[in-house]
């Protein structure tokens, strides 16, 4: 049934193939993990094919080291008509310790698409029940609003040459 799985976790070991020149996990690898977990969460909630629309408020708080146990936790915090907003926390810990550290945090938005046309399609509604859920929903919406304002400002500043290249 759609709308049954609000939270999903991925866990894995950070591998040497994802290291950057500084010896830490590459930011691009972390973003890939976030997108994969977010996609799985969106599909688990909506039971539809979904696409990433936005990622906002991303913060790289602490490094992830080779061999760390990494957990990507996605939690649905708001639904629109066809959109779903997820709070994503990435934590890491050395397996020789029980202490987890927050490595990365963000809010992601996905849109569900219908199969024949690839057009936005409705998703099951989620209503926050607790004060914490209401606070998370407000936070997610504010992060996405800030992202839209940044996009608008950047578009206004874009050189005319880029507008021609992009067909704007």
Band of residue 166 on the pLDDT scale cut at 50, 70, 90? low
Query: Domain for residue 65, yes or no?
Result: yes
Q: What pLDDT does residue 106 have?
A: 94
CATH number of the domain bearing residue 64 = 3.10.129.10
Query: Which tens digits make up the pLDDT trace of 40-83?
Result: 999 999 999 999 999 988 999 999 999 999 999 999 999 999 99
Query: Domain for residue 106, yes or no?
Result: yes
Query: Domain for residue 41, yes or no?
Result: yes
Instruction: List the beta strands (DSSP E) in 5-161.
Output: 7-13, 49-60, 69-79, 83-93, 101-113
Q: Report pTM.
A: 0.86
Query: Domain for residue 25, yes or no?
Result: yes
Domain holding 13, by residue range, is 7-166
Q: What is the sign of the dihedral through the CA atoms of 149, 152, 156 and 158?
A: positive
- Show Cβ contacts of residue 105 under 8 Å, excluding neighbours closer than 6 positions: 57, 58, 59, 61, 87, 88, 89, 90
Query: Domain for residue 37, yes or no?
Result: yes
* CA distance linking residue 153 with residue 140, whole number of Å: 20
Query: Domain for residue 2, yes or no?
Result: no
Count: domains in the chain: 1
Average pLDDT rounded to a whole number, residues 15-32: 89
Query: Domain for residue 84, yes or no?
Result: yes
């Amino acid at each position: 049934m759609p709308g049954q799985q609000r939270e999903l976790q991925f866990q894995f070991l950070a591998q040497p193939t994802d290291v950057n020149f500084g010896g830490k996990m590459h930011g691009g690898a972390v973003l890939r993990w976030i997108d994969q977990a977010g996609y799985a969460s969106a599909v688990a909630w909506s039971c539809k094919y979904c696409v990433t629309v936005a990622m906002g408020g991303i913060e790289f708080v602490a490094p992830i080291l080779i061999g760390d146990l990494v957990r990507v936790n996605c939690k649905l915090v708001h639904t629109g008509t066809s959109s779903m907003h997820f709070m994503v926390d990435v934590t890491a810990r050395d397996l020789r310790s029980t202490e987890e550290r927050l490595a990365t945090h963000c809010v992601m938005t996905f849109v569900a698409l219908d199969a024949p046309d690839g057009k936005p399609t409705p998703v099951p509604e989620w209503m926050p029940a607790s004060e914490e859920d209401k606070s998370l929903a407000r936070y997610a919406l504010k992060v996405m609003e800030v992202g839209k304002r940044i996009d608008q400002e950047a578009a206004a500043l874009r050189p005319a040459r880029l507008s021609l290249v992009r067909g704007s």
